[in-house]
Structure 1
Amino acid sequence: MVLLTACGKAYTNPVHAGDTPDPQALRVGDTWYLVHTNEGGRNVPVLTSPDLVTWTPAGDALPHLPDWADGGKTWAPEIAELAPGRFALYVTVADRASGRQCIGAALATGPAGPYDGLQRLVCQADQGGSIDASPFQDQDGRRYLLWKNDGNAVGQDTWLWSQPLAADGLTLTGAPARLLRQSEPWEGHVVEAPFLWRHGARLLLFYAANAYDTAAYAEGYAQCDSPLGPCHKPPGNPILTSHGRASGPGHASMVEFKGKTWLLYHAWPTGAEGSTTPGRQLWLDEVTWNGDTPVVHGPTDTEQKVP
């Protein structure tokens, strides 16, 4: 909600009170398009906003699943603009044949879809399945796909992976590279939800860790030499943890808007971890930089200046 104060426009988290798990946003023209994990009977719910604060439901980006996928477990979608009028959706779906989660990709002419022709990209059924796809385009124009093998579903390690994407956005090329796995006490038994962000010359890998339905869930980052690694974890993690009315904040995505950097993420209301109502709500906080180190100014639950 946008508020008018003596100092101008302000907002208070959460910026969307409904269940908004695993959010990612892309700006096209003057509009932000946000997609998130299935909710309310929609496979890939879409929200739109002019300012990252006021969000309006805008339908289902993936109204029909292919014959090879089961409904109800359509997770962590992300969208990328491949060219004007050509958008790709990367999303986790339930693969009927393997009984595990797989990552698929589909195309549309607009960011809100509808996306058609969902095809498998990554499955890794022998490693628990594959989830949490995130596309990245580096400054040289090359594209990559990041994801997590769902090892915690089968008692294995969880690794974050990266692999080059072809220009069509639907084909992986080269070999997959392991970037990192759970190794620090704060991470518990799982790392997930990777995304890459280039800040100047530095390439940063952000990720969430620990059990998603607890207050221990949090966001951290690593420093990488290239989109294919190697990556190492600096001191100072995690950078976003439970605070105030936000419990288990994580599965974030980062955007730039009006010369500033912002983090969109989900969090449970404190004391309602794991609930279906209201579920994981949408939060927004600013990120500033201490050299190459990201500083997340949140979770905030007091009035903040609108972007």
Structure 2
Amino acid sequence: MGFTNPVYGNNFADPQVVAVDNVYYAFATNGALGNIQTLRSTDLVSWAEVGDALPALPGWTSPGRVWAPEVAVHAPDRYVMYYTSRDDASGMQCIGVAVASTPTGPYVDKSPLPLIAQLDEGGSIDASPFLDSSGNRWLYWKNDGNAIGVDTWIYVSALSPDGLTLVGPTHRLIKQTLPWEGNLVEAPYMVERDGKFHLFYSGNAFDQPAYAVGHALCDSPTGPCVKSGDPILTSSTDASGPGHNMVLRANNRDWFVYHAWSPGHPGRSMWLSELTWVDDSPVVQPPLRLNPGQPEPH
């Protein structure tokens, strides 16, 4: 039995999904549902609209450019969201952090300033939290260098146990070096598997068919990282520009959740492809409108 992509056909860019008590919650860039668009599902395929997880923004930013949210589950009553928004003072994209007691929010950011700014490097976007097998929390992000014509780097820093503060040094992992990446790399997502660390990332321009997902194998959460080379998820006859992925394990199978755009669907909608492994190499189904694999409730 299969399912049909996109699993959510409306505009839902930069999706991330968390599982809480056998329910899946999806978050995405601002759109018709609000600053942080939010959905709910029990099977990853049929999604109900919830609304806006971040209805009130902190004083350093304004509605309209709230992007790429990702949530870390700390406890049944504590959820920490990292998101990108335009800093009104500098005009650049920066990273904020907000906390809620339920998965759907409302998340509240009480900070007077962004968590990460990097104004001399074009700003900061695409924050992604990661909890390693030792219980250490990390935050990955990208400096928005392509906004000012400089290199884009994937950065990482350790997080405080509450997830609200960067602690220790920041580390540069990878930048754009391969032809398919164009002028940028972005949207990092780290996965630990069998003692090794897999960094997924997107490259090229998000609104072009060349946008794709790459992979790098890392020795530790802070690198060093070696890229695999060619992208592992690219445009297909069914959809273009797949990217900004995350990895979700459901019912003992791994799934890529990502956005892509296709005929008849407005903007970047949410797609699902199965991820399998050959030793340390990830293998991802291409964007398929009719997907032969059926994810089941976790």
Same fold flag (TM > 0.5): yes
Q: 1:290 aligns with which of 266, 278, 288?
A: 278
Tell me the secondary structure at the aligned position of residue 62 of structure 2.
strand
- Structure 2 residue 57 is matched with structure 1 residue 79: no
Structure 2 counterparts to residues 80-119 of structure 1, below 5 A: 80-119=72-111
1:14-53 to structure 2, matched below 5 A, reads: 14-40=6-32, 42-53=34-45
Q: Distance in 2 between matches of 1:22 and 1:303?
A: 21
Q: What CA distance in whole angstroms lies between the structure 2 residues aligned with 1:223 and 1:118?
A: 36
CA deviation map 1:145-184 (0-9, x unaligned):
0000000000000000000000011010001100000000
Q: Name the SS of the counterpart of 2:166 in structure 1.
A: coil
Are the counterparts in 2 of residues 76 and 133 from structure 1 also a CA contact under 8 Å? yes
Alpha-carbon distance between aligned partners in 1 of 2:278 and 2:109, rounded to the nearest angstrom? 43
Distance 1:176 1:204 in 2: 18
Q: SS where residue 167 of structure 2 aligns? A: coil
Q: CA, structure 1 residues 41+85, in 2 after alignment: closer, same or farther (shift >3 Å)?
A: closer
Partner of residue 241, structure 1: 234
The one-letter amino acid paired with 1:255 is: L
CA contact (8 A) 2:96 2:109 kept: no
Displacement of 1:118 in angstroms is: 4.4
Distance 1:158 1:117 in 2: 27
Asked if the contact 1:76–1:91 (Cα under 8 Å) also holds between the matched residues in 2, the reply is yes
Using the TM superposition, give the Cα deviation of residue 281 of structure 1 relative to its aligned residue in structure 2, in angstroms. 0.9
User: Which residue pairs with 1:211 in the alignment?
Assistant: 205
Q: Which residue of 2 aligns with 1:188?
A: 182
The residue matched to 2:165 in structure 1 has which SS?
Answer: coil
Structure 2 counterpart of 1:255, from 226, 229, 248: 248
Determine what percentage of the aligned residue pairs are the same residue: 49
How far did 1:201 drift?
1.7
Alpha-carbon deviations, 1:166-218, whole Å to 9, x = none?
00110100011000000000000010000100111220000000011000000
- Contact 1:23 1:34 (8 Å CA) reproduced: yes
**Match in the other structure for 2:150:** 156
> Partners in 2 of 1:188 and 1:10 — Cα distance?
35
Q: Which structure 1 residue ranges, 5 or more long, are not aligned?
A: 1-8
The structural deviation recorded for 1:41 is: 5.7
Q: Which moved more, 1:113-122 or 1:22-31?
A: 113-122
Spell out, residue by residue over 1:119-141, the C-alpha distance to the aligned partner (whole angstroms, 9 max, x if none): 32100011100000000000000
Change (3 A) 1:118 1:285: farther
| Residues 237-291 of structure 1, C-alpha deviations (whole Å, 9 max, x = no match) | 2000000121010100100000000000000115x8xxxx600011101011101
Contact 2:69 2:81 in 1 (8 A): yes
Q: Using the alignment, how far apart are the partners of 1:203 and 1:193 within structure 2?
A: 16
Query: Which residue of 188, 201, 217 corresponds with 2:195?
Result: 201
Distance, in Å, in 2 between the alignment partners of 1:129 and 1:208 is 18
* 1:79 Cα deviation after fit: 0.3
Partner in structure 2 of residue 232 of structure 1: 226
Partner of 1:55: 47
Q: Secondary structure at the match of 1:51?
A: coil
Equivalent pairs counted in the alignment come to 293
Kindly provide the amino acid, as one letter, of the partner of residue 140 in structure 1: S
2-structure distance, mates of 1:248, 1:205: 19
Secondary structure of the equivalent of 2:180?
helix
Q: Separation in 2 of the partners of 1:15 and 1:70?
A: 30
Moved over 4 A (4+): none
Aligned residue number for residue 287 of structure 2: 299
Q: Quick check: 1:104–1:118 contact (8 Å CA) kept in 2?
A: no
2:258 pairs with one of 251, 265, 272? 265
TM-score under structure 1 length normalisation: 0.93
Matches within 5 A, 1:168-187: 168-187=162-181
Residue of 279, 282, 285 corresponding to 2:267: 279
The answer on whether the counterparts of 2:214 and 2:228 sit within 8 Å (CA) in structure 1 is no
